[in-house]
Amino acid sequence: QLSMMEVELGRLAVKRGSSAGVKQYGQEMVEEHTRANQELMQLVMKKQVELPTEMSTQNTAMIDRLSGLSGKSFDTAYKQAMIDSHNQAIALFQAQSQQGQDPELKAWATQKLPNLQAHLEMVNQMLADTSQP
């Protein structure tokens, strides 16, 4: 669900973001999380596990809220949403990579963890850059 939200918010960032950095980061989130979603779908289909096909009401509300923003207000809210989302995703992936029962899912989570950490670092850097006088 988090990854689906990040794809949708990335699309919004490309459309509504005011800075080139936010637009570029949004496009990267669309591409990387779409690819990760496809990989995960292929992995779980073999295991006959069902994944959510819709976002949670909380994630939908976040998208709705950001849809009403533009410019710098959007950029700020988007960056914070990405920080929150990536922190949640990192915690989930760390738990799966350490405690997961399925070896393939565990390996996949372990493989994706550095990407999530890099995404978090990127958005934290964008936030730091805009808070400098």
Boundaries of every domain in the chain:
2-131
CATH of region 2-131:
1.20.1260.10
CA distance 127 to 108: 29
User: What are the CA-CA distances from residue 40 to residues 45, 85, 89, 92, 105 (Å)?
Assistant: 8, 18, 14, 14, 8
What is the rounded distance in angstroms from the CA atom of residue 72 to the CA atom of residue 128? 15
> pLDDT tens per residue, the chain (133 residues)?
778 899 999 999 999 999 999 999 999 999 999 999 899 989 888 888 787 778 889 999 999 999 999 999 999 999 999 999 999 999 999 999 999 999 999 999 999 999 999 999 999 998 887 754 4
Residue 38 phi/psi, 5-degree rounding, is -65, -40
Measuring CA to CA, how many Å separate 120 from each of 20, 47, 127?
18, 30, 11
> Which structure tokens are listed for 129?
């850059």
CB neighbour class for 52 (10 Å; exposed up to 12, middle 13-18, buried from 19): exposed
pTM for this structure?
0.89
> What pLDDT score was predicted for residue 133?
45
